Structure 1
């Protein structure tokens, strides 16, 4: 009989290998070819669409695209098309559907309508034979392999890395990466393995075992990590978790912070991380139980999940790893089976 949580544990442990696989050989070459084709089309703006975990990867890509490519970015509302019959004019846009399974009908419909209106469409999936991939003009296989647990872990980080390679390849014009960028990214598998070797999340899971609610927060590139963490905690431990950008947290929700509401704050390097130091300090003033995720101790926090200091663009690929481990450990501590959360399936079809 398989031990509870073993599937999710195995999926999490495979992520360093997944990073190496995407960075080497055919997967990297395929992404570079797609990036070159997108760069050739010179899209004036981009639209990303996803659901659940993949929506958080899409949000990360939206930050990357606006910051690194300097073009406007939007996140599509599939229901505008599937429920209300909207047919937006997306001529000249890059429209990217991000989906682990590639099987959600609403995402497929968005790409279908976008392509009919003249957009360049791209599917980023773990299933190159999926309907989404077949509908799009271009597709990227994130090559994560079979995911055992219902809760997505390795497919999420594979999406992040594939989207990072895509955007940086577009920025470089021909799909390739500068030598210094390539060298920095090649360190990710080793750094990820080091993060996963630290089992400090087990103690934190015991600390949060009887929590009734929790808050996650981050800014910029870290905000998708905060949202993905909240989702993982809710779907594996059934723990109500609210995700806020650091800026939004200060605009009202800060009032609910107190010693009984744990806060997980993702604080990396760069502008996003620096802006979070004030957020953590304000939470500390309210005596909130704040644990940060980052490379340095932050005043106002009561603990830290340590990750190496890297470029802010790469940090989401490392920051999420201890938080996935925390979701796994907390679910087990609360007597749940994170491999098969109640009421959930691996593929969710929405219209």
Structure 2
């Protein structure tokens, strides 16, 4: 067979999901010292505020970083509205602010333009990318390489978990912590989850004909719910709506029935505790509830996937929570006869401005 022959559907995404334990090890073994050095240099500047800039999957990684920065450091954070700069020409005073721009490719024009504008406005700029030679890395004062290696499938998988770990290590470095030790369990835990493909395939068979899905969580798990919804929509084309548990109760709960599945990401920790009233309301409504997370909650749900996260700090659990949901998006897509490697109408670098 020619090396240029097209691969079987799903081969590329499946292979890249399987690379994630190795990518996490690479970051811990090779990337952590450079990340800590960047963190120390930025900590010396003592930024007063943090703005996070991203699109798509990286936007969900940015939301994870927002939780880390606010909870771990007490730093006020915001998510950037890039059009205020790129479309409206606004030039806010960003003196002593840290602007973190997250992008797998580092090539989207709006990300580059908004970062350039932030630097001109006095910001400390940090790019977090999978491409050290990208335009975004070049225009930023600081750069963190997530070391995920080339990602060819259009749905991002290994770059997402790589971004999460890099951001965790960066925030831990800002506070002078020793989080690398806590993170050492991640590669082995990721391997254990990825080996349970048969369980996910059974879930996919159950939900392959779903016409809609709702995903929910609280705290650190909320970015996981948003990223899982994105993966389901871009690969299987199933409309997937993501809500924080609190927001779900403020209106959207009315659309929940016993037909469309609700996927709840339930962490070990305060986020899982905060989600308990939501789970009770979902059970009261007879929802087809799927739990990803704590075993005792999986056993009370219609279906689910128990995660081996006991003893893992809650802020690191998103790196494990997303894995069965990536696999679910993949398996549902394959079961529907579609190719998750190449979703229609999508490109790896999105040319937004």
Report the TM-score when normalising by structure 2: 0.96
Q: Tell me the secondary structure at the aligned position of residue 315 of structure 2.
A: coil
The answer as to whether partners of 1:104 and 1:350 remain within 8 angstroms in 2 is yes
**Residue number in structure 2 paired with 1:186:** 184
Deviation at 1:300, TM superposition (A): 5.0
Aligned partners of 1:264, 1:190: CA distance in 2, in Å?
25
The answer as to whether partners of 2:148 and 2:162 remain within 8 angstroms in 1 is yes
The answer as to whether partners of 1:265 and 1:292 remain within 8 angstroms in 2 is yes
**Residue number in structure 2 paired with 1:315:** 317
Structure 1 runs of 4+ aligned residues shifted over 4 Å read none
**Residue number in structure 2 paired with 1:128:** 132
The answer as to whether partners of 1:281 and 1:300 remain within 8 angstroms in 2 is no
Residue-pair matches, total: 344
Alignment deviations for residues 233-281 of structure 1 (CA, whole Å, 9 cap, x no partner): 0000000000000100011111111111101100001111111122111
**Residue number in structure 2 paired with 1:293:** 292
Aligned partners of 1:4, 1:286: CA distance in 2, in Å?
38
Q: How does 1:228-267 map to 2 (within 5 A)?
A: 228-267=227-266
Q: Tell me the secondary structure at the aligned position of residue 229 of structure 1.
A: helix
Deviation at 1:207, TM superposition (A): 0.7
Alignment deviations for residues 146-192 of structure 1 (CA, whole Å, 9 cap, x no partner): 112100000001000000000000011xxxx42xx332211110011
Aligned partners of 1:50, 1:271: CA distance in 2, in Å?
27
Gaps of 5+ in 2: 1-5
**Residue number in structure 2 paired with 1:13:** 18
Aligned partners of 1:127, 1:113: CA distance in 2, in Å?
21
Deviation at 1:2, TM superposition (A): 1.6
The answer as to whether partners of 1:293 and 1:304 remain within 8 angstroms in 2 is yes
Alignment deviations for residues 106-161 of structure 1 (CA, whole Å, 9 cap, x no partner): 11111111111111000000001001000000000000001121000000010000
**Residue number in structure 2 paired with 1:350:** 352
Across the aligned residues of Structure 1 and Structure 2, the Cα RMSD in angstroms comes to: 1.0
Alignment deviations for residues 55-99 of structure 1 (CA, whole Å, 9 cap, x no partner): 000000011001111110000001111111111111110000000
Aligned partners of 1:165, 1:238: CA distance in 2, in Å?
34
Deviation at 1:28, TM superposition (A): 1.2
The answer as to whether partners of 2:169 and 2:180 remain within 8 angstroms in 1 is no
Q: How does 1:146-161 map to 2 (within 5 A)?
A: 146-161=150-165
Q: Tell me the secondary structure at the aligned position of residue 155 of structure 2.
A: coil
**Residue number in structure 1 paired with 2:195:** 197
**Residue number in structure 2 paired with 1:43:** 47
Q: Tell me the secondary structure at the aligned position of residue 169 of structure 1.
A: helix
Deviation at 1:311, TM superposition (A): 1.0
Aligned partners of 1:311, 1:258: CA distance in 2, in Å?
34
**Residue number in structure 1 paired with 2:302:** 302
**Residue number in structure 2 paired with 1:68:** 72
Is residue 335 of structure 2 the alignment partner of residue 333 of structure 1? yes
Aligned partners of 2:87, 2:122: CA distance in 1, in Å?
21
**Residue number in structure 2 paired with 1:168:** 172
